[in-house]
């Protein structure tokens, strides 16, 4: 005869909690399973039927039905475990935290957990527990952008953001910059390709086959990239690149966004820009080159092409970069979703 038992009387709130635990996507799997077992019981399933449905033993069904009958919802939660009590004192805790938050005087920039354990005489496992409880992570560093000293930061920033969000009619916004010192690195041993069970492998030793400088402009509202490699990153090559943009985008005003690099501000460049009424130069504030959207593309280029690349020659690197940009323009180019301006008033 199939085993069954009488489902206990429960409140509406308890029934709602059981359903919530059983269906919740963010609920621990153990609690969700136990709730389903109790709901099976409510629906009249026998021990065997519930065990088959939940792929557990009848002993497990009995355990959680009994726990629920005695303690309700709380009975489905794990019992608190009694373990060995902590053996470090408040003074030990303070010593660990103070050392973790201070700079060592032995030439290091930070202390490891092992260093702290050796200095305090506390085991490394206890050091780890103390730091975790205090939410202190000496092994990590977060970087942030310092405040720009540019007195006109607000005005320059708003001018550039306005061009991104609401460009003038019959005008194009071009974000321009250089990515310099790209090394054409070859490896001293052949690459071992990715295969099942093994990652792609490269030797640590390499040889340099030259350096490439890339000059690029991003048409902000179409995503199209105009680029060329140059031998030197100076005002002459930058001016040639501006003339290339002039020829490419005829009969349209060009708003050029660039950083404060010296080559962008030489007298020769400024004189040429002043003569070309279709050009409007906009310089990012000091320490704010992140406002220049071409930097987003450079990050994509590094991820897709430059990181861990292997090139037998400088020409091979140049050919790969330019092929990637050609395909990017044909298949992937689209405006970046700029959100900075939307957050200004939050």
Q: Evaluate whether residue 247 is within a structural domain.
A: yes
Query: Based on the domain organization, do 170 and 56 belong to the same domain?
Result: no
pLDDT digits (tens, 9 = 90+) for 90-107: 888 888 988 888 888 778
**DSSP assignment, residue 11?**
-
- Amino acid 338: pLDDT: 67
**Angle, nearest 10°, between helix axes 29-42 and 58-71?**
80
Task: Please enumerate in sequence order all residues whose Cβ is within 8 A of that of 44, keeping only pairs 6 or more positions apart, or say none.
Answer: 4, 7
Calculated CA dihedral for residues 14, 20, 21, 26, nearest 10 degrees: -150
3-state secondary structure of 187: strand
Question: Rounded mean pLDDT of 326-338?
Answer: 91
Question: Rounded mean pLDDT of 18-33?
Answer: 83
Q: Evaluate whether residue 232 is within a structural domain.
A: yes
Q: Evaluate whether residue 83 is within a structural domain.
A: no
Query: Based on the domain organization, do 16 and 44 belong to the same domain?
Result: yes
Query: Based on the domain organization, do 110 and 159 belong to the same domain?
Result: no
Question: Rounded mean pLDDT of 246-274?
Answer: 93
pLDDT digits (tens, 9 = 90+) for 138-184: 878 776 666 778 888 889 889 999 999 889 988 999 999 999 999 99
Question: Rounded mean pLDDT of 19-40?
Answer: 85
* Of residues 262 and 337, more confidently modeled: 262
pLDDT digits (tens, 9 = 90+) for 49-72: 898 898 888 899 999 999 898 888
- Amino acid 4: pLDDT: 66
Query: Based on the domain organization, do 67 and 101 belong to the same domain?
Result: no
Structure tokens at 93: 């805790």
Question: Rounded mean pLDDT of 207-215?
Answer: 92
32 falls in which pLDDT band (50, 70, 90)? confident
Q: Report which of 211, 188, 229 is spatially closest to residue 325, judged by C-alpha positions.
A: 229
Name the pTM for this structure: 0.62
Q: Evaluate whether residue 170 is within a structural domain.
A: yes
Query: Based on the domain organization, do 312 and 246 belong to the same domain?
Result: yes
Q: Evaluate whether residue 146 is within a structural domain.
A: no
Query: Based on the domain organization, do 98 and 175 belong to the same domain?
Result: no
> How many domains does one find in the chain?
3
> CA distances (Å), 56 to each of 3, 23, 138, 223, in order?
15, 19, 44, 56
Query: Based on the domain organization, do 97 and 179 belong to the same domain?
Result: no
Query: Based on the domain organization, do 224 and 267 belong to the same domain?
Result: yes
On the question of pLDDT at 273 being above 70, the answer is yes
Burial category of 172 from C-beta neighbours within 10 Å (exposed 0-12, middle 13-18, buried 19 and up): buried
Nearest-angstrom CA–CA distance, 14 and 276? 76
Task: Give residue 204's domain range.
Answer: 153-340
Share of the chain above pLDDT 70, in %: 92
Query: Based on the domain organization, do 64 and 101 belong to the same domain?
Result: no
- Amino acid 345: pLDDT: 34
Q: Evaluate whether residue 7 is within a structural domain.
A: no
On the question of pLDDT at 205 being above 90, the answer is no
Query: Based on the domain organization, do 54 and 162 belong to the same domain?
Result: no
Question: Rounded mean pLDDT of 208-225?
Answer: 94
On the question of pLDDT at 283 being above 50, the answer is yes
Q: Evaluate whether residue 305 is within a structural domain.
A: yes
Residue given tokens 């060995």 in the structure block: 84
Q: Evaluate whether residue 95 is within a structural domain.
A: yes
346 falls in which pLDDT band (50, 70, 90)? very low
Query: Based on the domain organization, do 64 and 107 belong to the same domain?
Result: no
């Amino acid at each position: 005869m199939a085993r069954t038992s009488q489902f206990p009387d429960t409140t509406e709130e308890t029934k709602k909690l059981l359903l919530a635990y059983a269906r919740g996507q963010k609920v621990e799997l153990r609690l969700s399973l136990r709730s389903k077992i109790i709901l099976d019981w409510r629906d009249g399933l026998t021990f065997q039927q519930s065990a088959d449905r939940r792929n557990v033993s009848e002993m497990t069904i009995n355990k959680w039905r009994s726990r629920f009958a005695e303690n309700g919802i709380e009975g489905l939660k794990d019992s608190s475990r009694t373990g060995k009590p902590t053996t470090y004192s408040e003074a030990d805790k303070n010593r660990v935290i103070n050392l973790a938050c201070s700079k060592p005087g032995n030439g290091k920039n930070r202390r490891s957990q092992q260093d702290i354990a050796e200095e305090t005489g506390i085991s490394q496992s206890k050091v780890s527990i103390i730091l975790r409880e205090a939410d202190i992570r000496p092994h990590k560093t977060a970087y942030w952008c310092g405040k720009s000293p540019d007195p006109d930061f607000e005005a320059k920033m708003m001018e550039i953001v306005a061009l991104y969000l609401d460009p003038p009619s019959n005008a194009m916004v071009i974000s321009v910059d250089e990515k310099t010192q790209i090394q054409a690195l070859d490896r001293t041993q052949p690459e071992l390709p990715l295969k099942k069970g093994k990652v792609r492998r490269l030797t640590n030793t390499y040889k340099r086959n030259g350096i490439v400088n890339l000059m690029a402009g991003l048409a902000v509202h179409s995503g199209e990239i105009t680029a060329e490699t140059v031998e030197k990153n100076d005002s002459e090559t930058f001016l040639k690149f501006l003339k290339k943009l002039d020829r490419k985008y005829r009969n349209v005003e060009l708003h050029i966004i660039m950083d404060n690099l010296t080559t962008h501000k030489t007298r020769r460049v400024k004189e040429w820009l002043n003569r070309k009424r279709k050009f409007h130069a906009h310089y990012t504030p000091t320490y704010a080159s992140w406002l220049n959207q071409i930097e987003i593309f450079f990050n994509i280029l590094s991820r897709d092409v430059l990181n861990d690349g292997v090139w037998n020659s400088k020409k091979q690197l140049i050919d790969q970069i330019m092929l990637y940009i050609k395909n990017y323009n044909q298949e992937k180019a689209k405006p970046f979703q700029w959100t900075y301006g939307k957050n200004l008033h939050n």
